[in-house]
Amino acid sequence: MPSIIILLLIGSLAGTWLLSGIVPAMIYYGLKLLHPSIFLLVTVVICSMVSLATGSSWSTVATIGVALL
């Protein structure tokens, strides 16, 4: 039962961030920071670092990889 509460809290937090403009602001500043010509290289480096830190390449692809699509 506690896992359902955690999922509900995460969903409400994500909705709150989206409505308050935090998610669009992160996208805007992220695109300002990252030039399209180096996007692929930076994506590979970020995914590699997260994969080495967590020890799981599949979860990295499922989270960071999808977010950087």
Q: Are 21 and 34 in contact (CB under 8 A)?
A: no
Distance CA 12, CA 1 (A): 17
- Give residue-wise pLDDT tens across range 15-69: 999 999 998 898 899 888 888 889 889 888 989 999 999 998 888 888 887 778 7
Q: Locate the domains of the chain by residue range.
A: 1-33, 34-69
Distance CA 33, CA 43 (A): 13
Q: What is the pTM of this model?
A: 0.59
Q: What are the helix and strand counts (H, E) for the chain? A: 5, 0
